[in-house]
Amino acid sequence: MEPSNGTQISQFLLLGLSRALELQPLMFGLFLSMYLITVFGNLVIILAVSSDSHLHTPMYFFLSNLSLVDICFTYTTIPKMLVNIQTQSKAITYEGCITQMYFYILFVLLDNFILTMMAYDRFVAICHPLHYMVIMNPRLCGLLVLLSCIMCALHSLLESLMVLRLSFCSDLEIPHFFCELNQVLQLACSDTILNNIIMYFSAGLLGVGPLAGILYSYSKILSSIRRIPSAQGRYKAFSTCASHLSVVSLFYGTILGVYLSSAAPQNAHSSATASVMYTLVTPMLNPFIYSLRNKDIKRALEKFLGR
């Protein structure tokens, strides 16, 4: 196949999750429902936190930012998939694909960093409770989020610009429901070794690094909890981490499962199906995980919805 210059490509084809026509209405209804629940649930969390002065603390500041990022994260992939299902079209423009890739990388990295900030917040609250308000002051919290946004935006821009330099063959079918970086690189006819080096280096630095920070924080947290004399005190301390641990396990478990299984080319379709877990299911479940066992969130939701 003759390569063509990347700037001359008009569109890619997103093959989606299934080619069976009889399943398209069911998939459209299912994913539309899940998307609306995700947006509504995370929006309610943001409004509840912002409207209740008792929740203007570092933990809930990070939670509201996580909810905002989850809304944006799902918005980058799901609406386009729904449009393609409804119109029976698989096309996405070249510019649209690069844009979708940019925002996808941006928000998945932001999710990663905010979960790390939340782990650090719990570490300070449990291991250094007397200095909590001094260490986790509003300026530091805002600065952490701002620096994360700048770092993720710059890295996402780098990855997108690196794709722009590539030439692509005539086969432009992406076996996915969105423009996933690794799948797009596999369609290139030109040398992608530099792209792969940057992709895997960033996965280690920006992916494994924050995960190592989370694991380190929880190792210190568990060590501190074990030193609490009463069982009730240990339970109360651990319960403040339970929701975050659940979200972290769901997020990293699904991402690691997808990217480890996608190493084999024959698993491209199953990888796309599994990607639904962290692109839609995890953001949809986050508001429920944080609200079902959290009395402060429940009280804030009751006050907000009562208005």
Predicted local confidence at residue 7, as pLDDT: 43
Answer yes or no: is pLDDT of 259 > 70. Answer: no
DSSP 166: -
Q: Give CA–CA dist 257/243, Å, rounded.
A: 21
Lowest mean pLDDT among 6-15, 248-257, 286-295: 6-15
Crossing angle of helices 58-75/282-292, nearest 10°? 150
Q: Give CA–CA dist 23/298, Å, rounded.
A: 38
- Residue spans of the domains in the chain: they are 4-301
| Cβ contact 187:168 at 8 Å | yes
Helical (H) or strand (E) element with 299 = helix 295-306
Backbone angles phi, psi at 4, to 5 degrees: -125, 150
Confidence of residue 260 (pLDDT cuts 50, 70, 90): low
For 86-133, what is each residue's pLDDT tens digit?
888 889 999 999 999 999 999 999 999 999 999 999 999 999 989 999
Q: What is the mean pLDDT of residues 166-171?
A: 82
Q: What is the CA radius of gyration of the chain?
A: 21
| Cβ contact 58:118 at 8 Å | no
Predicted local confidence at residue 3, as pLDDT: 43
Check: CATH 3.40.1280.10 for 4-301? no
